[in-house]
Structures are given as structure tokens and as C-alpha cells.
């Protein structure tokens, strides 16, 4: 049973449409604001929260969202609500129809995410982190992972946003590491020796691990079991260059990832700014290279690194896409059509290729 119900009206302003995600600490709902349209509402599972505690938990997220950076999720409202478990804090933020980067990654099925797309995603995350790391004192995310990165389309194409700033430091570090499969694989080695050692370089490690996953469908250091990671034994194994697992990765990208994933923080990029500079200087293989003769690269791992995923329902995805196409022809329904098409993309890799250009036009307000 969820904390709140579909159809419920919250504070006379938000109508709950449906549950769209759940983690160890919160549930996320798609809601419709009375005047401003769709938003996402995250409701914390911890009961008994006061407004002051909610504001304290969200202080950094609210501050960063006010900067208005395109790669940081915007927070609109924060308050408390009566739920099935008592008084809980909540906040509302931008609704991204495409969902999380994990969903985007999984939507490619047995194919690897294209290298250029993977690098561009991490570039965008870096741009948001540069703002946070540049604050005085720096704001450290502490929980960068695909589930905390949102990926959706706007008029310029794919845009990613970082969410959940500041929340990781409000929970027990051991609980955080056990909160979701794979979370510990995005934590830098030094944090297992000292939970207080989170840093900008630690965020860089998490970004490097995320890029490695996008490029190879594997974690940089295998997660054989939780104890191996916590005691650091997995870091004794050599890092396999991503180019050995994906022929589209060139030596320069190998070198960038090896520095991002350096075991010692002093050998790593000190912050997102330096990591971004090298990613901006990276160029893919030239079109004529024999190393990239294939149009698509298959993945032997089939997106299993973050746990078992329900198989794609192609028929359902196609129905969603057809409904989106019909909605796009109705006056005032273009944004709703675009949202539905993005949801369909995550259920069928082929739809993204077929309708991505059309979706971009819809996001610009152009119906066709």
C-alpha cells in the first residue's frame, strides 16, 4: 500500500495521478498541479517529520534549483502531508517523462548505449555538478547513480538532470549502501574506510562508474558480494579497459575513465570541472575506422548489472506510441503526447529510433 492514493487531492492543489517509482527512503508520484500542470512529488517514508525537518533535508536541493541550471532538477515546493504512515515530508519537482537514467539504459535492451550518447550524458551531469562543486563550501552529492539522474527530451534533444542533492548525508551510511542493488558500486573506495570521506573526487568516481556502466553494461569493479566491496577486496582486481568490452571506445576514453576511477582520490580528477574538461576534449573514432564497422554493438550482460528487469512488452509500447500520435493531433494535447511517447521509448528501443525526431518537434510545440 502506498503512502498516498491515486486520485487523492493534496493540500487542495495537487491531484495524485499514479506512483512512478519507489526507493528505500521515499515514493515518487506523478501529480497534477491545479495551475501548473504535471510535476513529480517525492514523499519520504520517514513518519513524524516536521516542516522544519523537511526544509533542512531539502536545503541544498532548493538552493541549487534556484540557480536554474538546466542539468539540475528544479524543486518547486516542500511541505508535510498526512499519509497512511503518519505525517511525512514531501517535495515537488520537475516531472521528467523519460524517467531515470537507469530506465534509459535498460531501454536499449541487448544493445549498448551509443558511446557518443553515453559521453554526452555524463558531460551534462558534470555541468550540473560543476555548479555544486563550485559552491563555497562545495556541495557534494554523495549518491550519484543512474537512479538519481533523470533523462528526458526537450526542444534541443536529450537532456539529463541530477536529482536528490543533499539527501544522502541525512541517512545512515550503512543503510544507504544497502538501499538498492548497485549503490555501493558507485561509492568511491575511500568511503568504505571512512564514511566521512565523501568529497568532490568521490562524486567523480560515481560519475566514472556510471559512464563505465553505460559503455559496457558492467560495473568497473565486479560486485561479487557486499562484503567484498565493503572491505575493499574487489578493488584489488585490475580494472578492465572499457575498450576491451566495447569496440567503439577509443584509447583516449579509456584514459579518461582510468583517471576518473583511480583508487586514490589524489590521483583522480579533483572535481567535476576537470573531468568535464577532458570529456569535452574527447573525440569519437572517425567514421572510416574499421573498428566501428558495426552499426550496433550487442551486450553480453543484457542490462543485468542493476538486477533483473521485466521483459519489454512490445505490444504495449506500440499502443502507447499510437495513442501519443493521436493525442498530438488534438488541440492542447501536444505536451501530454510527448510525455506518453517518452514513456513508450523506455519500453521499446525501436520506438526511440523511429520517433525521436518527431518528439523533439513536439517539445518545440510543433505538431506534425
Confidence of residue 312 (pLDDT cuts 50, 70, 90): low
Let me know if residue 309 belongs to a domain: no
Same domain, 231 and 324: no
Same domain, 173 and 288: yes
Same domain, 31 and 71: yes
Among 359, 328, 364, 326, residue whose Cα is nearest residue 343: 359
Separation CA 27–CA 2 (nearest Å) = 8
Q: Over range 14-38, report the average pLDDT.
A: 91
Predicted confidence (pLDDT) per residue in 93-102, tens digit = 999 999 999 9
The SS3 call for residue 224 is: coil
Let me know if residue 145 belongs to a domain: yes
Same domain, 114 and 88: no
> Which of 54-68, 96-110, 346-360 has the lowest average pLDDT?
54-68
Helix runs in the chain, H state only: 51-57, 59-67, 101-106, 115-133, 173-177, 190-193, 200-216, 226-230, 251-260, 272-281, 314-327, 334-345, 349-363
Separation CA 101–CA 367 (nearest Å) = 27
Let me know if residue 354 belongs to a domain: yes
Percent above pLDDT 90 for the chain:
57
Same domain, 225 and 81: no
Let me know if residue 68 belongs to a domain: yes
Separation CA 254–CA 212 (nearest Å) = 10
Which CATH number do you get for residue 40? 3.30.200.20
Confidence of residue 353 (pLDDT cuts 50, 70, 90): confident
**Residue that finishes a domain, picked among 93, 117, 133:** 93
Let me know if residue 301 belongs to a domain: no
Q: Which residues contact 278 (CB under 8 A, 6 or more apart)?
A: 256, 259, 269
Which CATH number do you get for residue 207? 1.10.510.10
**Residue that finishes a domain, picked among 93, 117, 134:** 93
What angle in degrees, to the nearest 10, is found between the helix axes of 200-216 and 115-133?
Answer: 170
- Segment of 7-11, 65-69, 219-223 carrying the highest mean pLDDT: 7-11
Q: How far apart are the first and last CA of the chain?
A: 41
How many domains are contained in the chain?
3
Separation CA 99–CA 80 (nearest Å) = 24
Contact 92, 76 (CB under 8 A): yes
Let me know if residue 188 belongs to a domain: yes
The SS3 call for residue 43 is: strand
Let me know if residue 299 belongs to a domain: no
Let me know if residue 305 belongs to a domain: no
Separation CA 82–CA 80 (nearest Å) = 7
From residue 346, alpha-carbon distances to 195, 298, 310 in Å are 35, 18, 12
Residues 310, 311, 312, 314: is their CA dihedral positive or negative? negative
Same domain, 72 and 220: no
Catalytically active residues are 143
- The parent domain of residue 269 ranges over 101-292
Query: Which single residue is written with the C-alpha cell 576534449?
Result: 281
Predicted confidence (pLDDT) per residue in 159-200, tens digit = 999 998 876 665 555 555 544 445 778 888 988 888 778 899
Amino acid at each position: 500500500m502506498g503512502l498516498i492514493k491515486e486520485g487523492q487531492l493534496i493540500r487542495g492543489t495537487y491531484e495524485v495521478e499514479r506512483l512512478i517509482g519507489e526507493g528505500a527512503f521515499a515514493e515518487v508520484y506523478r501529480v497534477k498541479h491545479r495551475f501548473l500542470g504535471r510535476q513529480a512529488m517525492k514523499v519520504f517514508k520517514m513518519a513524524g517529520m516536521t516542516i522544519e525537518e523537511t526544509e533542512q533535508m531539502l536545503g541544498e536541493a532548493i538552493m541549487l534549483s534556484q540557480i536554474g541550471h538546466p542539468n539540475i532538477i528544479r524543486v518547486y515546493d516542500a511541505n508535510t502531508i498526512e499519509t497512511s504512515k503518519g505525517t511525512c515530508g514531501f517535495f515537488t519537482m520537475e516531472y521528467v517523462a523519460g524517467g531515470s537514467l537507469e530506465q534509459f539504459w535498460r531501454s536499449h535492451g541487448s544493445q549498448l548505449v551509443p558511446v557518443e550518447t553515453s559521453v554526452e550524458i555524463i558531460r551534462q551531469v558534470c555541468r550540473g555538478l560543476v555548479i555544486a562543486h563550485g559552491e563555497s563550501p562545495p556541495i557534494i552529492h554523495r549518491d550519484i547513480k543512474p537512479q538519481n539522474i533523470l533523462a528526458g527530451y526537450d526542444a534541443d534533444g536529450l537532456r539529463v538532470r541530477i536529482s536528490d542533492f543533499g539527501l544522502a548525508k541525512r541517512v545512515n551510511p550503512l543503510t544507504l549502501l544497502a538501499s538498492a542493488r548497485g549503490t555501493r558500486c558507485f561509492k568511491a573506495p575511500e568511503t568504505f574506510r571512512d564514511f566521512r570521506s565523501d568529497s568532490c573526487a568521490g562524486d567523480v568516481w560515481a560519475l566514472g562508474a556510471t559512464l563505465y556502466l553505460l559503455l559496457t553494461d558492467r560495473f568497473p569493479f565486479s560486485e561479487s558480494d557486499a562484503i567484498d566491496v565493503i572491505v575493499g577486496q574487489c578493488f584489488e582486481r585490475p580494472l578492465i579497459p572499457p575498450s576491451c568490452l566495447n569496440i567503439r571506445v577509443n584509447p583516449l576514453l579509456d584514459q579518461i575513465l582510468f583517471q576518473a576511477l583511480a583508487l586514490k582520490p589524489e590521483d583522480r580528477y579533483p572535481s567535476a570541472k576537470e573531468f568535464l574538461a577532458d570529456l569535452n576534449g574527447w573525440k569519437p573514432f572517425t567514421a572510416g575506422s574499421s573498428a566501428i564497422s558495426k552499426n550496433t554493438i550487442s551486450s553480453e550482460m543484457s542490462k543485468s548489472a542493476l538486477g533483473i528487469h521485466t521483459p519489454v512488452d512490445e505490444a504495449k509500447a506500440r499502443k502507447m506510441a499510437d495513442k501519443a500520435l493521436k493525442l498530438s493531433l488534438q488541440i492542447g494535447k501536444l505536451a501530454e503526447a510527448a510525455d506518453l511517447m517518452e514513456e513508450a521509448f523506455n519500453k521499446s528501443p525501436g520506438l526511440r529510433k523511429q520517433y525521436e525526431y518527431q518528439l523533439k518537434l513536439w517539445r518545440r510545440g510543433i505538431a506534425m
